[in-house]
Structure formats: C-alpha cells, structure tokens
C-alpha cells in the first residue's frame, strides 16, 4: 500500500510518527533542560555530599598515606614517619588556614579534635624554629630569600613543582593557577628532596596566594625543617660534598657542622604541642575518616558511629536523629489523621450541596489555601501564644486560671494545630473531587433496600471515597513531612521536624555532609510516598483548587 507521495504507507506512517515525537520533545526540551540543570543536578550533587569525604586526604595527603601502614587495632601511637608527614601537611594547611576546617570536620566524629588542630596550628612555627635558628647561625647566607632562590633554581622540568601544585589545589577552594616564577633545579631536587618539596609549596603559596616576588622573600620554617631532615640522610651529605652549583659552599658549611643541628623527633614535638597527639583514639578517628568516601554521615544520621569494631550505636545521650525522624513521621501522621477527620465532613457537604452553594462554600476552603503561609502561621502565633487570643478568651470566661495559661505554642501541640489548618485544603480538595464522582443514588438505593444510615454510609459510600482519602492523605503527608517554616515559628524545641535540623546543619553548624545525609533519607521517604501516590492516584490526576 502506498501513501500519496509514493512511499510505502508503513514508512510514511512511521516517519509521521517520528516527526510527531520529535516535535513533542522539542516543545518539552527547554523546560526539561531547565529543570534538570537548575533542579535535578543541584539536588543530586547536594546529596552526593552525604558520602563525600575528601577533606582528610586533601588536607593531609602525606599523613593519610603514611597512616595506611599504621595498625589501628594495635592501640599504639603511630611512628615517627607519620608525625613527620603530619608536620609538613599541617604546616601548609595552617598557612592556608585550612586546618581548622579539617578540625571542624573531624570534630563531628570526635569532640576535642577541633581545638587540637587549632592549637597545634597556632604553635607549629615554634617547631620549625628549632631548625631555622641553628641553620641560619651556621650558614648566615641562608637567612636571605635571594640565596634560597638561587640555590633552588636551575635546569629542570618542574615535575615536582607541578605535583606540589596539584596537592595544593586539592586542599584550597580556589585553585592556584598561573606562573610561579620558579624553575626548580632537578639536581637540587634530587639531592634535597624534602627541602625542594617544602620550597615548592612555599613558592606556590607565596607567588599565587600572596602575590609576592619569591626571589626576594624569605621562605617559611618548613623549608629549614626539610633541609635539616635532608641533612640527616648520609646520601644527601655525600651528594652535597660533590655538589658545585650556586651556594654550594653554604651547604658544605652545614654538612661540616651536622652535630649543631637538632636531633628533635616530631613525635615528641607534637606531644609537646598537645598531649592528645599521642592518643591512639585520635589517630583511629583520622584513619577511619581518611578514605575519600564515607558512610559516616549516614551512620551519624541514624545515631550510629564507626567504632574500632565496625558500626555501632552512639551513646544514649547522643542519640537524637532517630527520635527526630520518628517524631516527624508521627506528627505528620497525626496531622494527616486530623486532616481526614476534619476534611471528610466538609468534602462530603461540598460534594452533596447544589453546585451554587457548594461554590460559595468552596471559597471558604480556597481562601486559606490562597493565603500566604506566613500569614496563616502568624495568625496561629497570635492565637496560640500565652497572651494570645485563645488563652485570653479562656481566662476571660473563667475556664483557665490566669496563672496557669495553656501552653499551646512552642511545642508539638502548636505545630499540629497550625499545620492541620495549613494543610487541610490539600485534604479537602482531592476528597471533594473523588466524592463528586460518587452517584448519590447508590446511597438511596442502599437505604431503600433496608440499610440503616450507618450501614449505607459504611458499606456503600465510604469504600468509594477511599481513593480520595488515600490521595489526600499521601499529599498531606508528603507536604507535612518536609515542612520547615511553621514548625520553626510555632514548634519551639519539642515541635520541630527533621527539616529544621537540616536547616540548622546547613546554616549554623555547617555540617553539610550530615545535612545531606539527613536530606537523602527524608527525600527517599518522600519519593517512596510519591511513587505510592503515582500508583494510587496517578500524578496526572492532581487537581489544584477545583
């Protein structure tokens, strides 16, 4: 069979269908892209924060690496190499003021870590001076930044510098891009590895963060520490003896007087700074949270923690989230139930009155629906507070003693009352649209067959209105479970929801990972309910305000 233009009808139809599909998709595409880019992707990346944990390995890359060799079940303080790596990592972090962020992060898991990092960062310079002073005494030329620049510069391909730059960029929020103005000598870098690494770190920070000329500035203490540590190595000493580059004589001065350099151990230095560094528990926490991805936030969100032997419940006095989730679910259920109880008679009345009077009464339902949420919340604040309208009337009527007014606000009662009022239209409207479709003749038929009023209602009418109850309940429940504004204003402390806790972690405690984990759980519950709603009602059947 051929179409008018001579092609087979089948091909022609398929082409028409394809064209229609493309046209439909072209109409949908702009909005779909808009929603996906500005809504779906941001939420997905936000939720990703709940497992993301790169801060430990980014801030302390070398210590994290050294920590792999430490056995956390041994109850032994780690060895010297780890403390040495910790010194260089923390020194950088303290200069860039990133160590406090790491301290805050680890403080979520073990209290006291935040102050440990802060005090250590403050006093870290003292450790470096143990080396800087004797080195400068022996070789006064090394006091001078220009000497250092001449010493470290030379021929090379800067692989070390770029490697150090990428470590920096993992740590700091704004990447260090641009020319450092230094070509690291490969010969010196091979001879003095720790010095060259520390000098590169300093050069990158000094040139790109502070914007200064590295050829004229004195390097920071960690560079002297690096040199001191390099000099402990016999190979380095031998290499310096045969070295003839710029300022070789200054290095030879140092190798001649090696006994003047301190034999300080970092383990002891850190113990001096803060006793807690010798505590294996601190190291266990750091090691547990050193991988790039963690289940720690999710465990925290359900009141668990990772102990030395796997996940375990937190101590009773620290368990809040399960209680909060249960309260959120329970209060949402109570609100949903009150909405059913209050909404059912109204919806029945609206569905069974003549259209004109029903439309007039419908305005009474829609008026609060259209009124600003904050207006209704402030209305409940006016009504419920201790000096509020309800209490005043009860006191005036003599039912409540002036001294013990009812506490209706800043607790769960306030939240339930206000939110029932706010969400009631969302129950009435779906109920109404379902009840509208139930023919009144069914009830009359049941009664004429001898059913009592109650039987007729319960056996005939009610089962037909169940879809409406289901639709309304899920809608109200979904909305209630994620509410923030109303509980925040009338809920006090005992009437708040999980949303309020999420907002607290986002804006006050800045524990974004935990907020994201709590949010993920909440979102999972809501999506499950949404899926149910779609199965029961169909998302196409949502009606808004008649």
Partner 1 sequence: MSALSTTLTRPALLTFTMPIVAVLGACFGFVTGNIFGQPWIGFLVGAVIGAALTFVLAQVPQISRWKATWGTSAAFGAAGLVFGGAGGLVGGTVVGLCLGWFAAWIGSGQYRAGVPIYYTAGQTLWHNAFLFIAGLVFFFLVAPLVPVMWLSFNADDFFTFTPEMLAFKAEGYSLKHYRNFFSGGGEPVKGLLFGSVIGAALGAALQLLPDAERSFGKIIVLAIIGALIGVVVGKMWGLAGAEWMTPLKNSLIIAPFATLISVSLGTLAAIGLSQSHVPFRQWIMAIMISPMIVPLIISATGMFFFYAPLGNWLEANLGLSQSFVGYVKVILAHAVLGVPFVIITVTATLVGFDNSLTRAAANMGANPVTTFFRVQMPLILPGVISGGLFAFITSFDEVVVVLFVGSAQQQTLPWQMFTGLREQISPTILAAATILVTISILLLTTVELLRRRSERLRGLSPG
| Residues 27-66 close enough to bind partner 1 by CB under 8 A | 27-28, 30-32, 34-36, 38-47, 49
Tell me the per-residue interface mask from 222 to 241 with partner 1, x by CB under 8 A, - otherwise.
Answer: --------------------
Using CB under 8 A as the binding rule, whether residue 524 contacts partner 1 is answered as: no
- Contacts with 4 (C-beta within 8 Å, 6 or more apart), sequence order: none
Nearest residue (CB) to partner 1, 185 versus 465? 465
The reply on whether position 469 binds partner 1 by CB under 8 A is no
Q: Please give the backbone phi and psi of residue 306, each rounded to the nearest 5 degrees, phi first.
A: -90, 115
- Residue selected from 329, 503, 510, 532 as contacting partner 1 according to rule CB under 8 A: 503
Distance between CA atoms of residues 46 and 503, nearest Å? 14
Q: Which stretch binds partner 1 (CB under 8 A): 17-25, 61-69, 131-139, 288-296?
A: 17-25
Q: Would you give the distance in Å from CA 539 to the centre of its chain?
A: 30
Based on the shown chain and the rule CB under 8 A, indicate whether residue 11 belongs to the binding site for partner 1.
no
Question: Residue 194: left (phi > 0), alpha (psi -120 to 50), or beta?
Answer: alpha
Shortest Cβ distance from residue 95 to partner 1 (Å)? 24
Least distance to partner 1, CB of residue 327, Å: 16
Sign of CA dihedral 19, 23, 28, 34: positive
**Contact at 8 Å (CB) between 325 and 523?**
no
- The reply to whether 178 sits near partner 1 by the rule CB under 8 A is no
Nearest residue to 412 (alpha-carbon basis) of 503, 320, 496:
496
Q: What is the CA radius of gyration of the chain?
A: 35
- The answer to whether residue 433 forms part of the interface with partner 1 (CB under 8 A) is no
Distance of CA 240 to the CA centre of its chain: 51
Residue from 4, 309, 316, 399 binding partner 1 (CB under 8 A): 399
Q: What are phi and psi of 449, to 5 degrees?
A: -85, 5
What is the distance between the alpha carbons of residues 392 and 377, in angstroms, rounded to a whole number?
A: 19
Q: Which of 264, 506, 510, 536 binds partner 1 (CB under 8 A)?
A: 506
Query: Which is nearer to partner 1, 84 or 377 (by Cβ)?
Result: 377
Q: Which two tokens stand for residue 149?
A: 């620049």
DSSP one-letter string for 476-496: HHHHHHT--HHHHHH-TTTT-
**Closer of 282 and 418 to partner 1 (Cβ):** 418
For position 76 contacting partner 1 by CB under 8 A, the verdict is no
* Segment contacting partner 1 by CB under 8 A, of 126-134, 180-188, 213-221, 504-512: 504-512
User: With binding defined as CB under 8 A, does residue 521 bind partner 1?
Assistant: no
CB of 422 to partner 1, least distance (A): 10
Among 239, 288, 496, 516, binds partner 1 (CB under 8 A): 516
381 binds partner 1 (CB under 8 A): yes
With binding defined as CB under 8 A, does residue 423 bind partner 1? no
User: Cα-Cα-Cα-Cα dihedral of 229, 231, 232, 236, to 10°?
Assistant: 120
Please state the closest distance from residue 245 (CB atom) to partner 1, in A: 42
Report the residue from 74, 177, 387, 441 that binds partner 1 according to the rule CB under 8 A: 387
Contact 92, 201 (CB under 8 A): yes
Closer residue to partner 1, CB minimum distance, 128 or 343: 343
Please name which of 272, 300, 276, 299 lies closest in space to residue 286, comparing C-alpha atoms. Answer: 276
Task: Copy the structure tokens of residue 15.
Answer: 């082409």
Q: Cα separations (Å) of 412 from 137, 302, 336, 494, 504? A: 71, 22, 14, 6, 19
Shortest Å, Cβ 526 to partner 1: 6
Q: Is 528 in the site for partner 1 (CB under 8 A)?
A: no
Q: Which two tokens stand for residue 216?
A: 């004229």
CB of 506 to partner 1, least distance (A): 5
Number of residues that bind partner 1 (CB under 8 A): 99
Q: Which stretch binds partner 1 (CB under 8 A): 68-76, 130-138, 388-396, 430-438?
A: 388-396
21: contact with partner 1 by CB under 8 A:
yes
Consecutive H or E run containing 310 = strand 310-313
| Contact residues for 331 (Cβ-Cβ < 8 A; gap 6+) | 412, 415, 416, 480, 495, 497
Q: To the nearest whole angstrom, how small is the minimum distance from the Cβ of residue 482 to partner 1?
A: 2
Select the span of 50-58, 226-234, 302-310, 341-349 touching partner 1 (CB under 8 A).
341-349
Q: Which two tokens stand for residue 116?
A: 């440990």
Task: Give me the count of residues in the chain.
Answer: 546
The nearest distance, CB 410 to partner 1, in angstroms, is 12
CA quadruple 215, 216, 217, 221: dihedral sign: positive
Decide whether 323 or 543 has the Cβ nearer to partner 1. Answer: 543
Q: How far is the CB of 331 from partner 1 (least distance, A)?
A: 15
The owner of tokens 């500035």 is 217
Q: Indicate the angle between helix axes 221-231 and 234-241, nearest 10 degrees.
A: 90
**Residues 434-453 vs partner 1: string with x where CB under 8 A?**
-------------------x
21 or 122: whose CB is closer to partner 1?
A: 21
- Looking at residues 473 to 492 of the shown chain, list those that interact with partner 1 (rule: CB under 8 A): 478, 481-485, 488-489
Whole-number Å distance between alpha carbons of 179 and 473? 62
The answer to the question of residue 537 lying near partner 1 (CB under 8 A) is no
Q: How far is the CB of 153 from partner 1 (least distance, A)?
A: 33
């Amino acid at each position: 069979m051929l179409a008018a233009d001579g092609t087979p009808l089948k091909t022609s139809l398929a082409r028409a269908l394809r064209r229609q599909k493309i046209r439909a998709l072209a109409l949908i595409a702009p909005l779909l892209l808009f929603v996906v880019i500005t809504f779906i992707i941001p939420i997905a990346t936000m939720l990703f924060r709940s497992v993301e944990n790169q801060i430990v390995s980014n801030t302390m890359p070398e210590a994290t690496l050294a920590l792999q060799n430490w056995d956390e079940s041994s109850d032994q303080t780690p060895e010297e190499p780890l403390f040495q790596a910790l010194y260089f990592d923390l020194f950088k972090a303290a200069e860039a003021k990133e160590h406090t962020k790491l301290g805050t992060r680890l403080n979520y898991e073990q209290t006291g870590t935040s102050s440990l990092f802060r005090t250590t960062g403050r006093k870290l310079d003292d450790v470096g001076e143990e080396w800087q002073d004797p080195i400068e005494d022996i070789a006064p030329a090394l006091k001078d930044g220009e000497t250092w620049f001449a010493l470290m510069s030379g021929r090379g391909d800067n692989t070390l510098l770029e490697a150090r730059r990428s470590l920096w960029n993992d740590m700091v929020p704004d990447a260090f891009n641009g020319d450092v103005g230094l070509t690291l000598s490969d010969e010196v870098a091979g001879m003095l590895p720790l010095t060259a690494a520390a000098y590169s770190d300093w050069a990158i920070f000094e040139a790109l963060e502070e914007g200064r000329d590295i050829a004229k500035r004195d390097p920071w203490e960690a560079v002297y520490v690096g040199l001191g540590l390099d000099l402990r190595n016999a190979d380095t000493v031998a290499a310096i003896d045969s070295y003839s580059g710029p300022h070789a004589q200054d290095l030879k001065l140092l190798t001649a007087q090696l006994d003047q350099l301190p034999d300080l151990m970092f383990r002891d230095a850190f113990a001096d700074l803060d006793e807690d560094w010798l505590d294996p528990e601190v190291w266990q926490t750091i090691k547990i949270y050193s991988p790039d991805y963690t289940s720690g936030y999710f465990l925290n969100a359900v009141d668990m923690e990772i102990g030395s032997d796997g996940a375990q419940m937190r101590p009773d006095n620290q368990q809040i989230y399960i209680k909060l989730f249960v309260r959120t679910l329970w209060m949402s259920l109570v609100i949903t139930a009150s909405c059913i109880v209050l909404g059912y008679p109204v919806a029945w009345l609206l569905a069974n009155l003549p259209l004109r009077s029903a439309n007039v009464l419908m305005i009474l339902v829609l008026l609060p629906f259209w009124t600003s949420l904050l207006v209704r919340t402030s209305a409940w604040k006016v009504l419920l507070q201790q000096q509020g309208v309800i209490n005043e009337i009860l006191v005036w009527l003599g039912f409540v003693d002036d001294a013990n007014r009812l506490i209706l606000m800043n607790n769960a009662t306030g939240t339930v009352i206000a939110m029932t009022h706010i969400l009631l239209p969302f129950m009435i409207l779906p109920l109404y649209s379902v009840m509208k479709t139930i023919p009144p003749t069914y009830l009359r038929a049941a009664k004429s067959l001898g059913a009592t009023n109650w039987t007729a209602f319960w056996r005939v009418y009610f089962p037909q209105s169940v879809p409406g109850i289901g639709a309304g309940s899920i809608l109200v429940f979904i909305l209630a479970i994620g509410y923030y504004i109303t509980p925040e204003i009338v809920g006090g402390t005992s009437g708040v929801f999980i949303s309020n806790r999420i907002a607290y972690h986002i804006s006050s405690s800045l524990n974004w990972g935990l907020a994201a984990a709590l949010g993920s759980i909440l979102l999972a519950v809501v999506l499950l309910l949404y899926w149910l709603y779609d199965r029961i009602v169909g998302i196409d059947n949502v009606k808004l305000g008649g």
